[in-house]
Structure 1
Amino acid sequence: MNHFNRRKFISAAIAGGVGISLLDSLPSMSNNANGKRVGIIGLDTSHSTAFAKALNSEKPDPVYDGYRVVAAYPYGSKDIESSAKRIPGYIEEVKKSGVEIVSSIQELLTKVDVVMLETNDGRLHLEQALEVFKSGKRMFIDKPVAASLSDTIAIYKAAEKYKIPVFSASSLRYIKGIEAIDKTKVLGADTFSPATLEKTHPDLFWYGVHGVETLYTVMGTGCKSVTRVSTPDTDIVVGMWADGRVGTFRGTRTGKHDYGGTVFTRNGNLILGPYGGYEPLLVDIIAYFKTGKVPVTPEETIEIFAFMEAADESKRQGGKNITLESVMEKAKKR
């Protein structure tokens, strides 16, 4: 699908929502960050402590340009036990890195220049993101952007309304081997990642998003429809791109949990993996904080979540082929 048609798909599917103006002009409209004080929302994920340790180490990598985490609001999941139980320990951990714990997002916003929204519970992201947007501060939103496609769209509509570019990505966008891929020569790809389930989130939104993001990193936008095969242990989602290419995602819930894939190109097949850690993502987050330029377009992030929502709908309908356009139309009506 060419650049124009991809834009046409998104703008038509969410008519009145995230339009071409957002894709073209968000970075130029953004307010300049006034400093390098980073605030974290959500201490219910290891991502928060990893980012704080990297930025606040005694000898941080110069690529982080002096950005430091100065304050954190811990919440955060409150009814997802696997996440909520981490909060007390992670509070103590970030304190050791010199991070102040605050009692509200509003208090946090008075102390920082940019924000990492790390809350593991995607159901809270829209409400929390709106508070940040209203403050005019740049924000990175960790995966999942939200716990529904409709909330994902709403977040990007708010980004347009408040003229604040927002960046969201999984660290699996930076899996080893990606740097060797000439995306203009990709014929198809198969990716895999763990796809553990959480009852409060659509199936793939919780963890399968990692492998789906890897798939989109090499395939790009333009998927028209998906079909899903689902068993208690495994999900296989087959995506049909508008230009005839096929991309698949395999989500695992047994055996060794790992990340990777195979990319089929005009020059031969290339292997992705292993996982490369958080640092490459953090480099892009800091670059975004400095410039306001988003490394991943709203168009691509929205389509990733439409892909996963279409996969859920396919499961509900016994493996029927589901178009991304159909799930986008439903989401915009909610």
Structure 2
Amino acid sequence: MIKIGIVGLDTSHAESYAMAIRNHPETSLAAVWDGGAVRDRAYARAYGERNGATLYDEPLEMADDVDAVMILTLDWTTHRDLAVPFLRDAVPTAIDKPVVGSLEDVRAIRSAANETPLFGGSAVPYHPSLRSIQVAGDGWLFYGVGYGDPFYYGCHVVDAIRFLVDHRWASVAPADGPGRSVDVVFVDGSHATIHLDGASNRVGASNRETFTFVGVGDETVIQEVETTHVDLEAMYRGYLDAFVEAITGARDAAGERMLDAATLLLGANAALEEGRTITPTSDSLAAYDVDGRAFLDDYQPYY
């Protein structure tokens, strides 16, 4: 049985992953820590009691008692400081979305991971409808439409497009179109147009929170990922399955795709802010920073 520790109870993800962990045949929830940014201590104690998990006063205290951890704090500027000690202690680590807010944090996490399994990002790519897509060959054309905040929620569609392409990004530039949209070129010649907040900008759009993906290659594929309870449970289950595979060595656990997607998310938002093309080596990308604390100040948990 793989003993997992949860680090951070700010969002509904902590409850959702607790359920997925309890229902998974190979995992148990053994430990929990929360810094009190959103929830109070009573909530953390009750969470531990409900899930049979020990509540720790400091996150790294659980390192010797777990086989892996999930970093779930809302404020992504805390992810580096929370994840790096676990990675250096050889504890497999999953980092929730958005993974980081700066290129410096990407580099620090990559360096700390070394040979330790690293996983994370959005759960949307692990929805069954996206995992079932077979992308054969290079040079595909993709469209992705998301909704909401272009960074906090935009990561869902960016991570999913990066999952589908499975190649590093080469450039990202502002795109013509409604809302906050970017054009991405990948090293294999694939292109993607990503509408980070596109669903809310469509004429006559409904209030459904839905991600839409279109891929055009040897064949055309269209998939919608909704956010019903059934869809969310399927995503979290798929995400946990993939994390378990990373922990056990059944899949690539270097975290490079996750970190490249995190860098693309930064590049997309930098391109929109500066109104020009950004590449992975752009000085402006290295200087770009998205402050998670400002988002935290306005955040209210769903439950």
TM-score range, shorter chain: 0.7 to 0.9
Shift in Å, 1:88? 5.2
* Deviation digits for residues 284-320 of structure 1 (CA, Å, limit 9, x no counterpart): 112222237435x533223212222222222232x22
Is 1:313–1:322's contact at 8 Å kept on the other side of the alignment? yes
- The alpha carbon displacement at 1:100 in A equals 2.1
Whole-angstrom distance in 2 between the partners of 1:251 and 1:184: 25
Aligned position for 2:80: 126
The residue type equivalent to 2:58 in the other structure is S
Q: Distance in 1 between matches of 2:69 and 2:250?
A: 13
Where does residue 300 of structure 2 map in the other structure? none
Match of residue 44 from structure 1: 10
For the structure 1 residues 325 and 211, does the alpha-carbon distance in structure 2 shift closer, same or farther, using more than 3 Å as the test? same
1:251 partnered with 2:196: yes
1:286 aligns with 2:234: no
Alignment of 1:228-307 (within 5 A): 228-229=174-175, 234-252=179-197, 254=200, 255-274=207-226, 276-277=231-232, 278-291=236-249, 293-294=251-252, 297-307=254-264
Match of residue 29 from structure 1:
none
> Of 55, 58, 74, which residue of structure 1 is paired with 2:34?
74
The residue aligned with 2:278 is 322
Q: Please give the residue correspondences for 1:168-187 in structure 2 after superposition, counting only pairs within 5 Å.
A: 168-185=120-137, 187=140
Q: Give the equivalent residue in structure 2 for 1:140.
A: 94
**Which 4+ runs in 1 deviate beyond 6 A?**
none
Instruction: State yes or no: 1:188 paired with 2:141.
Output: yes
Are residues 134 and 243 of structure 1, via their aligned partners in 2, closer, same or farther at CA, if it must alter by over 3 Å?
A: closer
Q: CA RMSD in A?
A: 2.8
Paired with 1:249 and 1:112, the residues of 2 have a C-alpha distance of 38
Contact 2:175 2:193 survives alignment (8 Å): no
Mark the CA change 1:222 to 1:104 in structure 2 (over 3 Å): closer, same or farther. closer
Gaps of 5+ in 1: 1-34, 79-83, 197-202
Q: TM-score, normalised by structure 2?
A: 0.79
Aligned match of 1:25: none
Contact 1:224 1:240 in 2 (8 A): yes
Give CA deviations for 1:216-237 in whole Å, capped at 9, x if unaligned. 1112223221112599x83111
- Percent identical among aligned pairs is 22
Is 2:180–2:272's contact at 8 Å kept on the other side of the alignment? no
TM-score norm. by structure 1 comes to: 0.73
Residue 165 of structure 1 aligns to which amino acid in structure 2?
P
- Matched length: 274
Residue 312 of structure 1: which of 243, 252, 269 is its match? 269
In structure 2, distance between residues paired with 1:72 and 1:273? 30
Q: Which amino acid aligns with 1:188?
A: L
Distance in 2 of aligned mates of 1:188 and 1:146? 27
- State the match for 2:53 in structure 1: 99
